[in-house]
Structure 1
Amino acid sequence: MIEILDPRQLAQAKESGALVGGILQTLKSRTAVGTNLLDIDQWTKALIAEAGGQSCYVDYEASFGRGPFGHYICTAVNDAVLHGKPSDYQLADGDLLTLDLAVSLGGIAADAAISFIVGESKAPEDVAMITTTERALAEGIAAAVPGAKIGDISRAIGTVLSAAGYPINTEFGGHGIGSTMHQDPHVSNTGRPGRGYKLRPGLLLALEPWVMQDTAELITDEDGWTLRSVTGCRTAHTEHTIAITDNGPEILTKAQS
C-alpha cells in the first residue's frame, strides 16, 4: 500500500515527527556510561505514554522477527545495526549506540534513528561512519522532490555510502509510512536513478542509510530480532521521516529547538 496523506493528516504527521525527534534527543541526553539498555526502553515507554502516543514496536510482529518485539525502542550496540532488542546490558565507554524509534500519534506514525558514541572514547573510524550515514541521509532527502523517482533517492544515498568505501546491504532500507509504520514503496540504500515510484506531495518516507564497516552481510541474533554484522564489525544507522510537499522535502523528525 502507498498512502498519500491529506492536509489534516500531514499536520498530524508533523506532530508525530516532532514527538519522535524530541524523544530521541531526550534519550541521547540521558544516556551515559553505565546506562542499561532496559532503562532506555522504560524511559521510552514513559515518554510515549506522557505524550499520548502509541508504540509502533511493542506488539509488532514481522516475517524477519520472532514473535512480538515486546519493547518500545530498538537499541543496537556496536556490531548490531537493525532491530536491536533491548537487553540487560550496561553501556561502556566507546560503545557505538543506535536508537531507532517509531511512534504513532493521532493515527499517524513517524520513524527515526540516531547513532552516537557513548562516553569519551571516540574512535575516528566510528565518527566517520556515523557522519557518512548522516551525509547520505541529507543527500537522499535533497533528492526527494515532487516528480523525482524512488531510484533517484536510492542513487543519492548509495553514491555517498559507496564513495566512503562501505559495502551496501539492500535487504533492508527506507520505506513509506503513514497510518502504519511500514508501507510501500521500499527505498533501497543504493539504486538506479529514474526508476520506481514517482514522488507526489502528501507521501511520507522514512529514509534510513545504514552501513557496516567491512561487510554487507547480516546475521540474526539469538533473540530472534537483532541484526548484526557477520564479521563483528561496527555499524551506524541514521533515519528521518520526511514529507514530500509542493515546495520540496520537509524533515518531520528533527528535534525541536
Structure 2
Amino acid sequence: MRQPRGDSRGILDPAGLKRRVRFRRHLPAVPLRHWVEHYWLIDWDLSEPFEQRIVPHPAVNVVFQRDGDEPERAELAGVSQELFSITLTGSGRVSGVQFRPGGFHPFWRRSVAELTGRRQPLPGAVPDHVVCAGTDTERCQALNALLTGWAPRADPVNDEVMRLVETIRTDRNVRRVDEFASEHGVSVRRLQRLFLTHVGVGPKWVIRRYRLHEAIERAADGPLDWAGLAVELGYSDQAHLVRDFTATTGVSPAAYAQGRR
C-alpha cells in the first residue's frame, strides 16, 4: 500500500518546523488517491511567532486553517511560483490537501492556470459537515467528504499529464523540454498547453522546480561539489544554479547550508 511521502522537499529548515509544530501526513480515501498526494495536518501552540518558508511544489492545495478562537477559514491555493512564507502565532491548526501535480483538474474542470499564483476563498459554500476539527481521523474524514462531493471524473488526457509530471519528478535525466517532448511523442507546443491547462505552469518551470528541490535538500546534508551538482541537475554552470537557488529561497546555497548545520 502506498504510504504518504516521507521527504521534506520544498520545506526550508524542516527540522525547525518539526521542533515547533506537530506536522504529519495522511493518505486520503482510496478512491481519491489517484489525484491527491496526501493530507497534511499541522497544530501549534507557540510562545513566540514562528516563520516558515516553503518552496512550493507544482501542486494545488486546499487549506482549512483556524487561528486561536477565530472561525475556521477555507482557502484554495493555486501553484505558487514564488517563495511562500507564513508566520504562525499563538495556537492554531491547519488541515490541508496537497493534490498531485495535475490532480486538481478533474475537480476544477477548467484550466488550472486560472489559479496560478493566487490564493482565494474556497469557491462555493462549504458543507456544514466539512469542519476540520477533532482527531486526525476526523479531520481526514471531513476532507474525504469534501473531495468526494466534488465528484471528480477520470480523464485519459489528464492521466497522461500526471504521468509526464511524475516522470520529470523521478528522472533527473529530464533536463530539456524539447528532448522530453520528443521522447514522449508530443510537440513542444502541445506539451506546454497540456501543462498549463492541467498543472497550471509550463514544463520548463516544473523541471527547474524539481531540480531545485533536490539542490535544497542536498545543501542541508553537508559540503557539496556545486559545479558537479549543477551538471547533474541540468544547469548550464554553477553560477546559474547558485543564482536560481538564491533567487528562489532568498539565501545563497552556502548560507542555507551553514544555517542548517
Q: TM-score range, shorter-chain basis?
A: under 0.3
Question: What's the TM-score once normalised by structure 2's chain length?
Answer: 0.27
| More contact order relative to length (CA 8 Å, sep ≥ 6) | 1
**Larger relative helix fraction:** 2
Task: Look at both structures and tell me which one has the larger radius of gyration over its CA atoms.
Answer: 2
**Larger relative strand fraction:** 1
